[in-house]
Structure 1
Amino acid sequence: MSRMSLLIPVFFPQEEALTDTNVQGLTGFDIVLFGYWKTPEGEDPAVIREEHVAEAQAKLYELAAQFSRADASTEVQLHFGPADEQMTVLQTRVAEETDADAVVIPKRITLWNNILVPLRDDQNADRIVEFLDAFAPETTFMLELFHVATDPSEVETAREMLGSVERRLLDHGFTESDLEVTVEVATDPEAAIIERASGHNVVVLGETEELPREKLFLGPTYERISERTDIPVVVVRNRR
């Protein structure tokens, strides 16, 4: 099992808890908690920092302790600033500096043992398999490889592609009972992924060439999927 680094943004003020007491399945991860307190427009970040730094640090270290109990190593960072392009640039810089293998679009993190892996093609398959290897097979209930074909004529090719990825995962210690391969025919792949995600507790996606937009650290497709699901979306970054 390889170790993977995971960047998890934690935004303040928090609307809801990021984790619960059932956090598990993170043994193979080195986690960087990227704390960012969004300062109101027109207010001095230095003043906001002075007022809230102790509160934010306490919450970050409480989160770090929860991840440590799930057997993940954890590093904490805390920043203050406006919720604009500056935040996006900073997230990108931290991801580069920490050499993050993946970035989480945060939702409530609990058991990471039921994993949905949508694959459009096998372009990033090696990188995704390398990342999935950090999930200990003994704590994985199910890992579903999922492809949406927009035409029935694409189904057989898609099954062959997913089968190739499945064989690589078997070579990494997963068993046939851990893995499920699904090809669905639908006209809207994004909607199909969102619907499928409801039966899982984490979605793992490969990074695409899609460019981030203003105020979005990652591309808009990832953000839309995250907004319409109740589980974390993990974006596996390409090798730099």
Structure 2
Amino acid sequence: MTRIDELRILVPVDVSETEPPPLDVLDHLGAVEVVLLGYFPVPDQAEPALLRDQYGPEATDRLDAVADEHGNPAEVLVFTHDREATIDRIADEYDCDAVLTAGRSTVVDRVLVPLRGDVNLDRILAVVADLLLAGNETATLFHSVAEDADPTQGELLLMGAVDRLVEYGVERDRVDWQLSKGGDPQTDIVELGAAYDLVVLGETEPPLRERIIGDVLSAIVDALDVPSLIVRDVE
């Protein structure tokens, strides 16, 4: 089984905005290590160094204020033309296991974990196990079966995933599973996610930027009101 010695999460924050993002979820994830990435978007025609000279102190103050609210994690400030490339680079540089997107959850009691198959499954379950072992959350493992497909494989996937979490040390009564036969995973995840405090998703292959820009995962993350934790596929 894949094991993660110490769960490290990258949290991107747009420091060009005056209002900080809702990150209350950080205070309810237990003993995880956080790297706070403050990024300042730079227009294509502008030089990052010039904007850093102009807005650097203000951006630093905003990033410091977010850090002060959430336990003073490690901070990185970047002025960048490409947000997604920066997230990918810093996640690699700091060896982050997952990337957290902001959302309006003030507690984390219930975690939804959509599973698509064997893709990135080991790391997703390792991250979920670390979250559950660090706190008191419960988790629902979820799989959406394509229309007219045999649901048996989905059931086996979910039951096997539950067994693996138990092998990690998670109590069996803190994990359940749900199978949907609606045939539209994106809609299923967004609708079901509204009833949870955090959604754990997995990228299908590196780099992270390709999983965030213009694909199904991006649409799901954008549609969710609750925070999402995107588990990186870095094996």
Q: TM-score normalized by structure 2?
A: 0.85
1:1-240 equivalences in 2 (<5 Å):
2-14=5-17, 16-19=19-22, 23-40=26-43, 42-68=45-71, 74-82=73-81, 86-108=82-104, 110-137=106-133, 139-151=135-147, 153-209=149-205, 220-240=215-235
The letter for the 2-side match of 1:118 is P
Q: Shift in Å at residue 54 of structure 1?
A: 2.2
Q: CA RMSD in A?
A: 2.7
Partners of 1:109 and 1:102 in 2: how far apart?
A: 18
CA-CA distance at 1:23 after TM superposition? 4.4
Tell me: CA distance 1:66–1:113, structure 2 relative to 1, closer, same or farther (3 Å).
farther
Residue segments in structure 1 that go unaligned for 5+ positions in a row: none
CA distance in 2, matches of 1:209, 1:33: 23
The 1:218–1:171 alpha-carbon spacing in structure 2 relative to 1, beyond 3 Å, is farther
Overall identity of the aligned pairs, in % = 28
Unaligned runs of 5+ in 2: none
| Structure 2 CA distance for aligned equivalents of residues 125 and 20 of structure 1 | 26
> Paired residues, what number?
232
How far apart, in 2, do the equivalents of 1:61 and 1:201 lie?
Answer: 26
Bigger strand fraction:
1
Distance 1:239 1:144, change over 3 A: same
Give the CA deviation at 1:91.
Answer: 2.3
- Deviation, 1:197, is 0.6
Equivalent residues of 1:103, 1:237 under 8 A apart = yes
Which structure dedicates a bigger proportion of its chain to helix?
A: 2
Letter in 2 for 1:128: I
Distance 2:222 2:115 in 1: 19
Alignment CA distance shift 1:41-1:108 (3 Å): farther
Q: Please, what TM-score do these two structures have when normalized by structure 1?
A: 0.83
The one-letter code matched in structure 2 to 1:166 is V
- In 2, Cα distance between the equivalents of 1:21 and 1:228? 19
User: Does structure 2 conserve the Cα–Cα contact (< 8 Å) formed by 1:166 and 1:179?
Assistant: yes
CA 173–62 in structure 1, closer or farther in 2 if over 3 Å, else same: farther
Is the Cα–Cα contact under 8 Å of residues 23 and 67 in structure 1 kept in the other structure? yes
Letter in 1 for 2:22: T
Shifted more, 143-152 versus 13-22: the winner is 13-22
